[in-house]
Structures are given as C-alpha cells and as structure tokens.
Structure 1
C-alpha cells in the first residue's frame, strides 16, 4: 500500500472518530493528511469508495492490533480483555468512535469487514469460555461481549476513567459460574 493511501486512510479514520462521518470528504482527508488536493480522490473516486476503503482499513488495523493471546486462566482472560478495552478507549479512542459511526451510518454490505472482525472476536471469547468453563460458560459469551462493548462505549462517550478490570472480572466470573 502506498504511503499516500495509508496517510489518507489514517486521516479519514481520525476525521470520522473526532468529527463524525459527515466530516468525511476527499478535501478534508487531503487537508488532514497534509496531502496535495485531489490525492485522496486518486485512490477513492467516490465517497462510497472512500467509506468502503476506511472500513476495510479499520478491519485490517484491528486484526493487526488484536494480538489475541493464548489464555489459560480466568485472570489471564480478564487481563487481556481489560488491556484491549484500555487501548480501544485510550490511545485508539478515535478509531473506536470511527468504528461506531461507521456501524451506524454505512450500509450493511459496506460494514461486512467490521462484522466479520466482530465475529472473530466473539469466537475467541466463546473458545476461551469453553476451555475455562465448558459449554455452560460458552453460552454466556454474548453477555461477556456486551459487557465489554458497554464499558467501551461508556469510556469513549461519558467517563474515560471508568474502571475496567473490576467490571470485566465480574462478567467473566458470572459467565464461568453459569
């Protein structure tokens, strides 16, 4: 991938995450990325192509950053999920906001890569719960995911300092106890 395209995509994610999806224009991306006018449109001819490119880029970046570790204990799982939420609500908060905005605003076909990314995370959580607590615990994967999602949304919209580990520990222990 060219550095111009990468700069445009990074700038587009930041724009969406800080100013909303309506701020996403070719000209605004060029300006935010310090690119010559027209650079973004050379890579993404239409706004729909730009949105689609941003979604693909987000999914690719999130897969690369996920680093899903092997988990052997409940504490390791709680720590891993807590670190992910800290990262997504801290240094990567603009990217998290961009993902939420795109989920809400983009059409179903366009957000497919983000949905697939989400399904991969759900499978990871379900697999860990299965290994730690069997099928009964695995049935609570949606609960653990929803707890994490709610906490992440709360941290990026209301309280960036909301506690993480205690909340995740409570959800994981509840899932494991059935």
Structure 2
C-alpha cells in the first residue's frame, strides 16, 4: 500500500475508534506503524489530513452512487429492498468504521456533509420517481431520516443485527403510505 493510502486508512481507523478529537498526526503514525512525523510530512496541518479523509470518503461515495445508478428499480418494494441492503452494507463489519467516520465528521464539516446528503437525496428522489412514488421530496426526506436513524442506532446503541424484514417494511411504508 502506498504511504499516502496507508496514512489515510490509518487516519480513518483512528477517527472510527476515537472520534475526531482523537485524530492527531502522532496517533495516525502509531496506528500506521510509521516513524513519528511521517503523517506530518504528507499532511502538514491537521486540516490537511481532515481534508484528505473527506476527499477519500467523497470519492468512495461517488463510486457507490455510480453503482446505485446502475441498479434500476421500477417498483416501491424494490426501492425498499435496495435501501435495506444499503443500510446493511453501511453497518457491516467491513464498512462500519467508514460509516462511523462519516458520522463523526458530519457536525465538524457541515458543507461537505451537506454535499453528500444532497447527492444522496437527489439519487433517492430520482429512484422514487422511477418507482412511481408521489410527493417524492417529502418521501425522500422521510426515508433519509429513517435511514440515518437506523444506521446511527445500529452503530452506537444496539449491537444486534438489523432486522432486515422490519427495516424493509418501514422503508416501504415511507415510500407508499
């Protein structure tokens, strides 16, 4: 792994484990098993490191959005199933750390968080329109609120696996009722 990628991966894990307050050059160096000062050579200021993390997450989001656009749904139950699979992916062991990083960074970086949210919302609105939903703007916001709540709850409060049947039913209700 290239040094820059190694530092970014370590920084993501540091934030996932200890929140944004724990993000220091020294903590990243320790996590990456690099000599002290290595992170500072590539990212002189903490803000440079935070910007690199946000860029990394943004690039990952764009790829996920691209993949989601390729999945064509034509019925509300398909949208509900797709959203449920998305929630499962966000809280799965291999993605939970990145999702925690996003949650930790959102309040500290509202402009980037807003860009992510608006992009997700636009994709959801297009998907609901294709699925024939009415009042797409209100339904999209309600779906996003529920999705955020399920993810937050799963990552912070309740370690049990997500009840996918119930989650899918609630998404379907939000889309159709």
Which category of TM-score, normalised to the shorter sequence, fits these structures? Answer: 0.7 to 0.9
TM-score w.r.t. structure 2 length? Answer: 0.87
Q: 3-state DSSP class of the match of 1:72?
A: coil
Q: Which residue of structure 2 aligns with residue 71 of structure 1?
A: 73
* 1:47-102 residue CA offsets vs partner (Å, 9 max, x unmatched): 11111211111121232244212222223212221111111111211111111111
Q: Aligned equivalents of 1:84 and 1:174: distance in 2?
A: 16
- Residue in structure 2 matching 1:86, options 85, 88, 93: 88
Distance in 2 separating the partners of 1:153 and 1:40: 30
Shift of 1:134: 4.2
Residue from 81, 95, 98 that aligns with 1:95: 98
1:59–1:114 contact (8 Å) kept in structure 2: no
> Is the Cα contact below 8 Å between 1:17 and 1:95 reproduced in 2?
yes
1:176 and 2:165 equivalent? no
1:167 maps to 2:167: yes
Aligned twin of 1:145: 144
Q: Mark the CA change 1:140 to 1:122 in structure 2 (over 3 Å): closer, same or farther.
A: same
Structure 2 counterparts to residues 1-178 of structure 1, below 5 A? 3-66=2-65, 67-68=67-68, 69-90=71-92, 91-104=94-107, 106-108=108-110, 112-160=111-159, 161-177=161-177
Structure 1 runs (4+) greater than 4 angstroms displaced: none
1:151–1:97 CA distance, 2 compared to 1 (3 A): same
Q: Which moved more, 1:156-165 or 1:83-92?
A: 156-165
What is the alpha-carbon distance in structure 2 between the residues aligned to residue 34 and residue 76 of structure 1? 45
Q: Distance in 1 between matches of 2:100 and 2:8?
A: 15
Give 1:116 deviation, angstroms: 1.5
Change (3 A) 1:27 1:17: same
